[in-house]
């Protein structure tokens, strides 16, 4: 079994903000496989299903971002899962909008939600799918991530949510190397979308 967690903040005011990219990518994955992420418990919304022959739990922590690890650890403990059976999808300001990076392990970087997950799980040895949302140095980081993207940015993000779901499927199938080769390299070549909706190479 795999536990796949999309990170974000609960509530309508946060819906489709940049910081909720993990929730949005998880929604794409859930829709593909008919998983209803509606069950309440463990400080999360979660649902059970299958990806291929593998049993999966898809979850959205409801603790707010900075305490995401509490919910993740609770479900992992209940289902007796080791860290290598965890996959986390989340937004990353250090990646251009519309880019994707897949890693088998590593630190949290500047992401407070991932810091919480690593602290609560007690390990960095789990897969993560980082979804680029870019950044704007002219405004406070908190204000930037808690705002909704522009129309052009959202179009780029919608595409990368599909690719994030593809990558999660490959990881569940035991093919994280294939996911990295296909999507990390693909998105290195992509043009990022700037705040005003133009390419950064225009």
What's the CATH number where 24 sits?
Answer: 3.40.50.1470
Establish if 74 belongs to a structural domain: yes
Band of pLDDT at residue 201, cut at 50, 70 and 90: very low
| pLDDT value for 98 | 84
Establish if 21 belongs to a structural domain: yes
Establish if 59 belongs to a structural domain: yes
Give how many domains the chain has, as a whole number.
1
Strands 44-51 and 54-61: antiparallel
Taking only the tens place, the pLDDT of each residue in 36-85 is: 999 999 999 999 999 999 999 999 999 999 999 999 999 999 999 999 99
What are 165's two structure tokens?
A: 């779901």
Taking only the tens place, the pLDDT of each residue in 91-150 is: 999 999 989 999 999 999 889 999 999 999 999 999 999 999 999 989 998 899 999 999
Residue 19 annotated in active site: yes
The pTM assigned to this predicted structure is 0.91
Establish if 165 belongs to a structural domain: yes
Domain interval for residue 169: 2-188
Smallest Cα–Cα separation from 135: which of 91, 199, 187? 91
């Amino acid at each position: 079994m795999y536990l796949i967690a999309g990170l974000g903040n609960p509530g309508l005011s946060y819906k489709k903000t940049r910081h909720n990219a993990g929730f949005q990518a998880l929604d794409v994955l859930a829709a593909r496989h008919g998983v209803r992420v509606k069950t309440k418990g463990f400080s999360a919304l979660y649902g059970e299903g299958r990806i291929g022959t593998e049993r999966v739990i898809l979850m959205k922590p409801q603790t707010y971002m900075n305490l995401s690890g509490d919910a993740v650890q609770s479900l992992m403990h209940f289902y007796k899962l080791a860290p290598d059976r965890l996959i986390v999808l989340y937004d990353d300001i250090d990646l251009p909008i519309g880019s994707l990076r897949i890693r088998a392990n590593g630190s949290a970087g500047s992401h407070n939600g991932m810091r919480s997950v690593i602290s609560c799980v007690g390990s960095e040895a789990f897969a993560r799918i980082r979804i680029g949302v870019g950044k704007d140095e002219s405004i406070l980081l908190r204000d930037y991530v808690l705002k909704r993207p522009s129309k052009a940015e959202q179009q780029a993000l919608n595409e990368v949510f599909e690719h994030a779901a593809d990558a999660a499927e490959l990881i569940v199938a035991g093919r994280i190397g294939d996911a990295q080769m296909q999507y990390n390299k693909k998105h290195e070549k992509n043009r990022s979308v700037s705040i005003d909706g133009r390419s950064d190479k225009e």
